[in-house]
DNA sequence: GCACAGGTAGATT
DNA sequence: AATCTACCTGTG
């Protein structure tokens, strides 16, 4: 180890990124259910890990985003951060092409989260994360994923507080279903284990899937155990930048029923409506609607809470 | 103590 | 083809 403040602290100097956004929007982007490996630390610093890179993000008083990487940085870490944050994509301009002039609710949702981004996470890690997501809250998904990383993933260099990366699919394939259950995955362990074996038998399958056009890529993801329509679309939206992917979950079903009058519509019907109504960037629209809906009723049960005494 | 959680898959009608 | 259910388990 040579001297210098960077290696002493374990983190590189803060560097400004070409991004301005509000604190609530940053929180929604990093911790709103796209990614599950970010934690807010004292001082409003977000720390996250993906594909062997550990990064810290914070906003300055003017709302500009600043980043610091674990030191010594992994090769290509700076480029990995730009890709992860999709800095080459102008989401505000894209949001402007959504039908916000004719869709009041969409306009309101965009207005609530100006600058909301779709992350471009590693494909394989996104698949793993969303296999863990079935009927779990974000906090619990984060706990499961963190346990798998701590127990079975590679320790990152630099600051010990940088944590561990997720194990790759080859490493997951070496785990038993019981190992995964010990990480609180529950019945999801069988799905993760099944996917790991599937991928182990097909080298290059995942990479090829990521490179295919959206319909073909989705068709292939649906072959995986534990991957249905919703998870396939989440993996393609958050892990492959396919902004046409339109995941339909309980929040979107609620939004469509309450805001668009689509009461009683099935997920497949809502998915079709989304594609037609929102177009090629339906996934971006979905993220605004999702964020808005969660902000309206955070952590609340459906109305009609039964009274225990009756 | 008990329903619920950003679902999926297999059984049943 | 549409609807019902089991699957795990930490939180509220």
A98 token code pair: 């959504």
**Rounded Cα distance, A31 and A19, in Å:** 18
Any alpha helices (H) in A10-122, and if so which ranges?
23-31, 77-84, 91-96, 104-112
Please check whether residues A35 and A95 belong to one and the same domain: no
Does A142 have pLDDT greater than 60? yes
What is the C-alpha separation between A45 and A49, in angstroms, rounded? 13
- Please say if the pLDDT value at position A307 is more than 90: no
pLDDT above 70 covers a percentage of chain A that reads 94
Please compute the mean of the pLDDT values over residues A73-87 and round it to a whole number.
Answer: 95
Strand partners, A46: A40, A57
Query: Is the minimum distance from the CB of A187 to strand C below 7 Å?
Result: yes
**pLDDT at A3 > cutoff 50:** no
Residues A105 and A61: their CA atoms lie apart, in Å, by: 30
Do residues A13 and A74 share a domain? yes
For the segment A190-224, what is each residue's pLDDT rounded down to a tens digit? Answer: 999 999 999 999 999 999 999 999 999 999 999 99
Q: How confident is the model at residue A57 (pLDDT cuts 50, 70, 90)?
A: very high
Q: What is the mean pLDDT of residues A261-285?
A: 96
Q: Which nucleotide is nearest to A143 (CA to C1')?
A: C10
Q: Is residue A310 part of a domain?
A: no
Residue A254 confidence (pLDDT)? 93
Closest CA to A86 of A234, A284, A280, A294: A284
The verdict on A180 and A195 lying in the same domain is yes
**Average of per-residue pLDDT across A233-248:** 98
Q: How far apart are CA A121 and CA A257, in angstroms?
A: 30
**Angstrom distance, A301 CA to B3 C1':** 9
Distance CA A270 to C1' C4 in A: 21
CA terminus-to-terminus distance, chain A: 68
pLDDT for A157 equals 85
Q: Which pLDDT score, from 0 to 100, does residue A301 have?
A: 43
pLDDT at A74: 84
Whether residue A309 is contained in a domain is answered as: no
Residue A307 lies in a domain: no
Q: Residue A127: which residues within 8 A CB-CB, separation 6 or more?
A: A195, A206, A221, A224, A227, A235, A239
* pLDDT at residue A35 tops 90: yes
Which position has the higher pLDDT, A149 or A1? A149
Assess whether A296 and A159 both reside in one domain.
no
The arithmetic mean of pLDDT across residues A15-23, rounded, is 97
Establish if A270 belongs to a structural domain: yes
CA of A301, C1' of C12: distance in angstroms:
10
Nucleotides in chain C with any atom closer than 7 Å to protein CB: 3, 7-12
Nucleotide nearest to A181 (CA to C1'): C8
pLDDT (0 to 100) of residue A1: 52
Of A240, A269, A291, which closes a domain? A240
Looking up residue A208, the CATH number of its domain turns out to be: 1.10.340.30
Q: What is the mean pLDDT of residues A41-70?
A: 96
Residue A308 in domain? no
Q: Domain count of chain A?
A: 3
Q: What is the pLDDT of residue A8?
A: 61
Residue A10 DSSP symbol: T
**What is the model's pLDDT at position A37?**
98
- For residues A131 and A171, state if they share a domain: yes
> For B1, which residue's CA is nearest its C1'?
A308
Q: Which of A259, A302, A126, A35 is nearest to A270 (CA)?
A: A259
Give the relative orientation of helices A123-131 and A188-200 as an angle to the nearest 10 degrees. 150
For the residues A254-259, what does the mean pLDDT come to? Answer: 94
Average pLDDT of A233-243? Answer: 98
**Cα–Cα distance for residue pair A155/A112, rounded to 1 Å:** 38
> In whole angstroms, what is the distance from residue A170 CA to residue A279 CA?
37
* Residues A226, A192 share a domain: yes
Domain range for A6: 1-85
- The whole-number Å distance from A249's CA to B6's C1' is 6
């Amino acid at each position: 180890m040579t001297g210098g403040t960077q290696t002493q602290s374990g983190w590189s100097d803060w560097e400004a990124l070409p991004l301005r956004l509000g604190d609530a929007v940053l929180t929604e982007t990093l911790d709103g259910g796209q990614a599950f490996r970010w934690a807010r630390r004292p001082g409003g610093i977000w720390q996250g890990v993906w594909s062997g890179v550990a990064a810290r993000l914070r906003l300055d008083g003017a709302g500009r985003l600043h980043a610091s990487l674990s030191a010594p940085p992994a090769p290509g870490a700076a480029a990995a951060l730009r890709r992860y944050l999709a800095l080459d994509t102008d989401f505000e301009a894209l949001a402007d092409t959504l039908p916000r002039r004719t869709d009041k609710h969409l306009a309101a949702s965009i207005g609530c989260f100006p600058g909301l981004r779709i992350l471009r996470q590693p494909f394989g890690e996104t698949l793993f994360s969303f296999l863990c997501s079935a009927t779990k809250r974000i906090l619990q998904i984060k706990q499961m994923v963190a346990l798998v990383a701590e127990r079975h993933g590679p320790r990152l260099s630099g600051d010990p507080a940088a944590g561990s990366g997720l194990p790759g699919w080859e490493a997951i394939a070496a785990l038993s279903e019981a190992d995964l259950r010990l990480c609180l995955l529950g019945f999801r362990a069988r799905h993760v284990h099944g996917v790991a074996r599937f991928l182990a038998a097909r080298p290059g399958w995942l990479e090829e899937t990521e490179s295919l056009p959206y319909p073909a890529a989705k068709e292939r993801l649906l072959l995986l155990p534990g991957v249905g329509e919703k998870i396939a679309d989440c993996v393609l939206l958050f892990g492959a930048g396919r902004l046409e992917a339109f995941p339909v979950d309980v929040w979107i079903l609620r939004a469509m029923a309450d805001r668009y009058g689509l009461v009683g519509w099935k997920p497949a019907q809502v998915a079709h409506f989304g594609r037609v109504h929102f177009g090629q960037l339906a996934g971006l629209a979905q993220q605004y609607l999702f964020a808005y809906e969660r902000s309206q009723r955070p952590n609340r049960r459906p109305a009609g809470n039964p009274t225990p005494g009756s």
